[in-house]
Structure 1
């Protein structure tokens, strides 16, 4: 992990604990099952909406509260800050592509890993697809950046 601060010794165990809680919550709410997610995407079961809303409320309150008492993250020492991302073409197109993949596979990335815990071994195809898709996008972006930089230096 890149940073100017020494990593707290409890950082990795707490990341593991967070993942454990996240996975348990997904399994408990049945959101790690692709058929439940597909039912949500077809507006047949809005349970996922309530799960996401509940998670967003708890997370929002937690981060708001922590920022009132601390200016840096307790385990990493990095300063809290907002990532400002404008709504540009990449966000819209990338979101659309993500949505198509989500609809075809029936599960989003975090839940895909958690669904392995409920015995959904077939999701390994979707996870492999995520890795290959991400690699191809990075390869395309690198090639596109090289083309742009060589066109700029030729001017």
Structure 2
């Protein structure tokens, strides 16, 4: 879908959502890796309440939006859940994500918010995320290329 198919308020609302998300992460101290690491070591359960609050708001939106909106909101697409099958990619990707989260003490969204609160060393983790995503893309394209090659060729 082209950007021209979207409502003119789509991009400003995305920016507003990012601002609210970043402010919330900073306000709740979830943009500080030491707070996240304390949660992962079961020393501070504050992150659990932040995650529950986010899940409650988004769950409510996903439940109510299809019932309250006559048509698609801003994107010209139906508002519905995207079902993803649980396969090895999800399992391995989740495990790798968890290891990275535990090593850096921060997840991708909070890493960017962490820059906003002055945590410049987090740039190392952000660089690692970009390199890891690029490496995964190379890995996936290598697998796709081998799947597309004709049978019997070396």
Q: TM-score, structure 1 length as denominator?
A: 0.92
- Contact residue 5 and residue 77 of structure 1 kept, 8 A: no
Structure 1 consecutive aligned stretches of length 4 or more whose deviation exceeds 4 Å: none
1:68–1:5 distance in 2 versus 1, CA, 3 Å: farther
Displacement of 1:4: 8.8
Aligned to 1:93: 92
Gap runs ≥5 in structure 2: none
Aligned length: 152
Displacement of 1:8: 1.2
Displacement of 1:99: 0.5
1:97-137: CA deviation from partner (whole Å, max 9, x where unpaired) = 00000001100000000000110011111111111110110
1:52-109: CA deviation from partner (whole Å, max 9, x where unpaired) = 0011101111221111122543211211222211211111111000000000110000
Aligned to 2:101: 102
1:138–1:7 distance in 2 versus 1, CA, 3 Å: same
Q: TM-score, structure 2 length as denominator?
A: 0.93
What RMSD in Å do the two structures reach over aligned CA positions? Answer: 1.5
- Contact residue 31 and residue 110 of structure 2 kept, 8 A: yes
2:148 is equivalent to residue 134 of structure 1: no
- Contact residue 30 and residue 36 of structure 2 kept, 8 A: yes
- Contact residue 71 and residue 80 of structure 1 kept, 8 A: no
1:5–1:71 distance in 2 versus 1, CA, 3 Å: farther
Gap runs ≥5 in structure 1: none
